[in-house]
Amino acid sequence: MEIKILNKENIEEIIPLRIALQMVDFENNLGIEQEILENRTRQFLKENLGKDLFMYGAYVNKRLVSICGLMIFKYFPQADDLSCKVGYITCVYTKDEYRKMGYQKKVFEKCIEYGKSLGISRFKLSTKNPVAMKMYESFGFVDDIHAKKMKIRK
């Protein structure tokens, strides 16, 4: 296994894993053509990877099998955190046949370490996956009862 930071040269390797994650999130019904999502994902990665988005990947036999991303958001300074940055963990996915082998934990650790090296002391993420929740809790993540969200329907 090799863990490495991903860059724009890896975009075409990242896309299939990101689409597979979306298939899980949307229970195999994307609601749009997969090609449209792939193209939007490609454009997003071209615009953000290496700027506000940093991704790590686990490779087995030179094949990308696990990914994890760190989005950096800037906020107003807070009394308990003057860094003005929050790390949002995103795009956490491992191919089915490589699960429960520690790959996800390794790329997740790399994202947290990288965020800390940038001075980030607050991290957030969201998931509905109970197995993933256990891993996040092992890193010290806790439920946030104050978060709310809103989705505008088209």
Facing residues of 88 across strands? 71, 124
Got the DSSP string for 65-97?
A: EEEEEEEEEE---BTTBTT-EEEEEEEEEE-GG
Residue 114 lies in a domain: yes
Q: Contact 5/56 with Cβ under 8 angstroms?
A: yes
Residue 48 lies in a domain: yes
Residue 132 lies in a domain: yes
Task: Give residue-wise pLDDT tens across range 61-109.
Answer: 999 999 999 999 998 888 888 888 999 999 999 999 999 999 999 999 9
Number of domains in the chain: 1
Residue 6 lies in a domain: yes
pLDDT average, residue stretch 44-57: 97
Task: Give residue-wise pLDDT tens across range 63-75.
Answer: 999 999 999 999 8
Find the domain containing 80 and state its range.
2-138
Instruction: List the CATH number of the domain containing 76.
Output: 3.40.630.30
